[in-house]
Amino acid sequence: MTTALVKGNVLLYKGSSFLKQRLILSILSGKCVKINEIRALDDEPGLREFEVSLIRLLDKITNGTVVELNETGTSLYFQPGLLYGGTTEHDCSLQRGIGYYLEALFILGLFCKQPINVTLRGVTSNNIDPSVDLMKTSMMQTLKKFVLDDDDLDLKIKKRGMRPLGGGEVVFKCPVRKQVRPIQFSESGMVKRIRGTAYALRVSPAIANRMVDTAKGVLLKFIPDIFISTDQCKGKQTGKSPGFGIHLMAETTTGVIYSAEQVSNVVTDGEELSIPEDLGVAAAQRLLYEIYLGGVTDSTSQSLAIVNMALGQKDVSKIVIGPLTDYSIGFLRHLKEFFGVTFKIEHYESDDENQTGTGSEKVLLTCVGIGYTNLSKRTI
């Protein structure tokens, strides 16, 4: 990734990589962004439908946002408005999952003027983005660490929807806060229980049970406290396309949640037919791998923790996570460009790991928050 060029108050970028990150941080920092050569050499140049849909969603929760696109869609100028929030509805592009859009709301929601109450419609689970189940468990738990009073923080799954036609619906509610608090969290603890949900939409309900049986077959070798429920959706709650999937979460003694999931392929797109037993085994193995990677968040929630650490009060924040994902590394670079925040990255070894030699290499992230304040929040 090339470093951004700064021209006045405008950050200049090239290419489509990390577009969502750049738009989110543009809104938080108030800095304009100009992105050129977006897929300029592709057969279909310019912004994709799901990226335009994201820009429309960001426009709905802000006031005064200015967006300029050239004719081919290969050049984007984004001038952020003020975060307003409020109640809104949005039909997400079916090219990506609802999780793609929810991540932006998770980061921006706390700093709006009005509490967010957003209804999103589209695909609830796919093989690219985090599913709404993962957002509700792992990422929601990560976000709550930075908020003192989190009673109003809620994500409800009203309908499930699979690719290619979607039909899912979720409601996300988020309170506004003046600031997020700094955290110092290093102990991930021991896994005490595993929970999960298997769902089958517009296919035989027996498929969900088959996924549960094979997933439990793998996990029972490691821990006895396992309960995986089946979500037997009926009628309108099944969305518009057939499909099935499984979401698993492991909770530790310190409240850390690791998540993993698997979703069936779309046969009409030429993908191979998914076998329920294979999905159950793959999800269980993925969960065990997340536990092996360790840290106080799973790999999907790393970026959410990193952003809130940087925006926190002017105090030291420390967390221990597993190996940094490419997406998290992108956020670390962008935070330096938009806010001038740098993180200290160190190798971390706990006493338990020194004795047993188990677990992956951990990373200790340390930074001093910039003291980002929600100026729109009304004070009594």
At 230-274, the pLDDT tens digits run 988 787 778 899 999 999 999 999 999 999 999 999 877 777 889
Classify domain 1-83 at the CATH topology level: Translation Initiation Factor IF3 (3.30.110)
pLDDT of residue 209 exceeding 70, the answer is: yes
What percent of the chain has a predicted confidence (pLDDT) above 90? 84
The residues, any chain, with a CB within 8 Å of residue 212's CB and separated by 6 or more, are: 196, 198, 228, 230, 246, 280
Q: Mean pLDDT throughout 341-367? A: 76
* Domain boundaries for CATH 3.30.360.20 within the chain: 191-288
Q: What is the largest CA-CA distance in the chain?
A: 61
| Cβ-based neighbour number of residue 69 at 10 Å | 16
Q: Mean pLDDT throughout 175-202? A: 94
* Domain boundaries for CATH 3.30.110 within the chain: 1-83
* Residue whose structure tokens are 């093989």: 127
CA distance 301 to 249: 13
Strand positions, DSSP E, the chain:
5-7, 10-14, 32-36, 62-63, 66-69, 76-79, 82-83, 85-91, 114-122, 154-159, 168-174, 184-185, 191-201, 226-231, 243-252, 257-263, 316-321, 344-348, 362-368
CA distance 28 to 108: 7
Give the pLDDT confidence score for residue 228 in this predicted structure: 97
Cis ω for the linkage preceding 182 (within 30 of 0)? no
pLDDT of residue 351 exceeding 70, the answer is: no
Q: What confidence tens digit (pLDDT) does each residue in 358-379 have?
A: 567 899 999 999 999 987 765 5
Give the pLDDT confidence score for residue 377 in this predicted structure: 64
Classify domain 191-288 at the CATH topology level: Dihydrodipicolinate Reductase; domain 2 (3.30.360)
Residue 134 parent element (H or E): helix 132-134
Whole-Å CA distances, 351 to 56, 176, 184:
49, 39, 18
Q: What confidence tens digit (pLDDT) does each residue in 3-35 have?
A: 577 776 799 999 999 999 999 999 999 999 999
